[in-house]
Structure 1
Amino acid sequence: MIYLNLNEIVDPSHTALVVWDVQNLLVNLIFNKETFLNNLKSLINIARNNNVPIIYSKITPLPRKYESTFRIFMLMKRFGVKDPDKLPRFLIPGSPESEIHKDVCPLESDVVLNKHTTSIFIGTNFENMMRNRGIKTILFTGISTEMGIASSARDSCNRGFYTVVIGNCVSSPKLKLHEATLKILQRVCLVEPSETVIKDWK
């Protein structure tokens, strides 16, 4: 069966909501913090009212000696250091900066996945969970648009899920990168505002 409109695509009976890396450190870096949090909070609330499963992700770095050398190289390039031991450590599990923002924090009924890549499908049981639950559609929200959202959305499409990026519930430290990424993603998946989905769920 092919779903032919958004109402069918986002039917709560086969839809899951991903809240990607909305951790304190990252929230404080984005260009539209208050608007982003308000939009996301509204979407999460109505998702709960419709019994849509909510899956949170958290960046959980691997111990440095188990990181890929290419990832370490890219971090060194990003931070302008030549010695990997001088790379900053951030989002350490249990630290305040690593916690999901209080305005959109998970409930006991939600799932929180710890992961260390820019795709929710790599190094987690996410896909198995979705298949087991009968999920056909995945809605993506969170930070950042050009990194984890883009990677996960593409992987979702490649695995045959109906994929919807909620354009006003994703964000980035860089407005131009955010906008450019959404334009590119429109070629491979749906990009919709939260209001459209909320209207269908009321």
Structure 2
Amino acid sequence: MDKTALILVDIQNDYFPGGKMPLHETEKAAKNARTILDYFRENNLPLFHIQHIFKDTQAPFFAPDTEGAQIHQSVTPLESETVIQKHFPNSFLHTSLEAELKNLGIEHVIIVGMMSHMCIDATSRAAVDLGFSCTVLEDACTCPDLTFNNKTIKAVDVHAAFMAALGSLYATIKTTDDFLVKTTN
């Protein structure tokens, strides 16, 4: 685990009930993200909070300087923890994330957060393209229902499809418990 870092992607207020873009079972995913965050904190392992902020003040969610754009209280960063702001789904694009990981000698990243079909997908693929191996903890991620050709695709199906796609080439897909059991034994 000494060359492994945790990346918590976009666990922000707008994705929770009452926010501008609530997702499916956000609290459940955040609880699992908190479990893995606690493990990384207890073991003094490197971790990075990613915060998506749209540049446009009229953005539908994550608008600058809004409560909705703030990182959710379930995973509030400690003062000593790095928070990287991004403006695109890919957490590496135009951010310091790659340089900071490489500076620490990180070879493997554990990714959790939101949304499975967008920022988790983009960040996982980018991580592998940049030379990192990647594990996604699927029960610490979530997404919304989507619509295509007047058909609603349920969030659980969107999530499953993207985890299956990532798992076919880009990432190892695990649950939080499975990861912790294998890591602590």
After TM superposition, the score normalised by the length of structure 1 is: 0.79
Whole-angstrom CA distance in 1 between matches of 2:166 and 2:106: 21
- Per the alignment, in what secondary structure is the counterpart of residue 187 of structure 1? helix
Q: Residue in 2 aligned with 1:118? A: 89
Structure 1's 136 and 108: CA in aligned 2 closer, same or farther, altered over 3 A? same
- Per the alignment, in what secondary structure is the counterpart of residue 168 of structure 2? coil
Question: 1:92 and 2:63 equivalent?
Answer: yes
Deviations 1:136-191 (A, max 9, x none): 10111000000011011011111111111111011101222111101111112111
Whole-angstrom CA distance in 2 between matches of 1:50 and 1:63: 38
Whole-angstrom CA distance in 1 between matches of 2:39 and 2:134: 19
Q: How many residues align?
A: 169
- Per the alignment, in what secondary structure is the counterpart of residue 112 of structure 1? strand
Give every structure 1 segment of 4 or more consecutive aligned residues whose post-TM-superposition deviation is greater than 2 Å.
Answer: 87-90
Question: 1:181 and 2:157 equivalent?
Answer: no
Larger radius of gyration: 1
Deviations 1:95-143 (A, max 9, x none): 1111111011111121111110111110101111111101010111000
Give 5+ residue unaligned stretches, structure 1.
Answer: 1-10, 65-86
Structure 1's 89 and 198: CA in aligned 2 closer, same or farther, altered over 3 A? same
Given residue 165 of structure 2, which amino acid in structure 1 is its aligned partner?
I
Whole-angstrom CA distance in 2 between matches of 1:27 and 1:197: 25
Q: Which has the higher strand share?
A: 2
Cα RMSD for the two superposed structures: 1.5
After TM superposition, the score normalised by the length of structure 2 is: 0.86
The share of aligned pairs that are identical, in percent, is 24
